[in-house]
Structure 1
Amino acid sequence: MSKLNGNERWKTKMLMTEHVEQYEQKDKEEGDSGKMLTTLERTMVRDLILLPYIDTMVSKSMQEVDRSGNMLTRTYLMAGRYIQNRVMQDTYRLQRELKQRNIKVLEDEQEDFLLYYKILFRGYQERFGLTRDVMRTEISLRLTRYTSELGAVLREQLK
C-alpha cells in the first residue's frame, strides 16, 4: 500500500507522471501477488504434480528393459537413471521454491478423467484440476526435453 492511498490531501497536489505511475505499479504488484497464484506459480505446481508420474513411468520402463535381455540394456538403464536423476533434481528445486513462496500442494480427489489438488497459498485455498489428456501431453513434452538434454550431454562427451 502506497503512502498516497487513503490520504485525500495528495489528490490536490501536483505529482510528476513518473511518480504516479510508480505508485500505481507498486499497488498493482502488491494487490495481485497476495490474492492470486501467478502463471509461473501455477506452472510450478503443475510440474510438481507431474514429476512423480514421470519418475514412475521411467522406473517401469527400466524394469521392462532389464527383463528384456536386450544387448543395449545397460545403455538404456543408464539413460533411465539420468532421466530419473533430472526428475529428482527438478522435484527438489520446485519443492524448495514453492516452500519459499509459502505454497503447499495436497492431493484432493480423483474423478473419471480429472485429478484434483488443493493448493494452499498465502492464507488462501484453491482447487487445481488436471485432465488425464493434459497430463499425458505434458509428461510427453517433459520426457522429450529430458531425452534431448541427455542427447546434448552425450554429444558434448563425444567431442
Structure 2
Amino acid sequence: MSRLDGNERWKSKMLLTEHVERYDEHHADGDAQGAVSAVQERAPRERNIITTEERAMLRDFILLPHMEKMVEKSIADVENGTNILRRAHLMAGQKILDRIVKDLYGLRRELKQRNIRILNEEHADLVVYHRYFCRGYEDRFGMTRDVMRSEISVRLARYTSELAALLKEGAMK
C-alpha cells in the first residue's frame, strides 16, 4: 500500500490522466502483476545502455586501426631495410597484420549486429573521445593516449606470442 492510497490530496495535483490510469491499473492488478509490468517497462531502456562487453568491443574497434597502421609502417620499414632476416620479419609482420585485419572485420560485423555505430573522433587535452550510438542511446567513449599506447603494446605482444606459439607448434611436427 502506498502513501497515496486513501489520500485524496493527490487527486488535486496536476497529473496527466495517463499517469492516474497507470497508477490505478497498477494497484488494481495486484502487487505481483504490477511488479512484472514495471520490470517490462524498464527493460527496453536498460537494453539501450551499453554493456561492459560492448565497451570492450568499442575499445578494440578504436585500437585495432591504430595497430594496423603501426604494423603496416613497420612492414614498410623492414621492406626498405637491409636486414639479413628481412624476409622472415616481413612474413611475421604480414601474419600479424592479417590477424589484426581479421579481428577488425569480425568486430565490425559484431558491432553492426548489435546496432552500435561509432562516429567521429575528438581530441580534448590528452583524451581521445569517440561518439557512439548504441541502440538509440548516444554517448562518448574516451581513452587517454597513454592508455591507448599501453593497450596497443599489450595487444601486439599477444599477437606476437600467438605467432610464436604457431611457429613452435609447426616445429614440433
Q: State if a TM-score over 0.5 links the two structures.
A: yes
**Structure 2: any 5+ residue segments left out of the alignment?**
1-24
User: In structure 2, the residue corresponding to 1:64 is in which secondary structure?
Assistant: helix
Once the two structures are superposed, the pairs formed by residues 72-87 of structure 1 within 5 Å of their partners are 72-87=85-100
Partner of 2:19: none
How many aligned residue pairs are there? 147
Residues 1:149 and 2:149 aligned together: no
Q: Distance in 2 between matches of 1:103 and 1:132?
A: 23
Change (3 A) 1:121 1:64: same
Q: Distance in 1 between matches of 2:40 and 2:46?
A: 10
Q: Deviations over 1:90-115 (max 9, x none)?
A: 10111000000100001231233221
How far off its partner does 1:7 sit? Answer: 4.1
Asked which structure has the greater CA Rg, the reply is: 2
**Structure 1: any 5+ residue segments left out of the alignment?**
1-5, 14-19
Residues 1:116 and 2:129 aligned together: yes
Partner of 2:11: none
Q: Deviations over 1:55-75 (max 9, x none)?
A: 111111112122221110010
Hey, which bits of structure 1, 4+ residues long, moved more than 4 A?
22-31
Once the two structures are superposed, the pairs formed by residues 4-153 of structure 1 within 5 Å of their partners are 7-8=26-27, 9-11=29-31, 31-34=45-48, 36-153=49-166
Q: Distance in 1 between matches of 2:32 and 2:132?
A: 44
TM-score when normalising by structure 1:
0.82
Name the % identity: 45
Q: Deviations over 1:29-48 (max 9, x none)?
A: 655322x1100000001100
Q: Distance in 2 between matches of 1:88 and 1:25?
A: 41
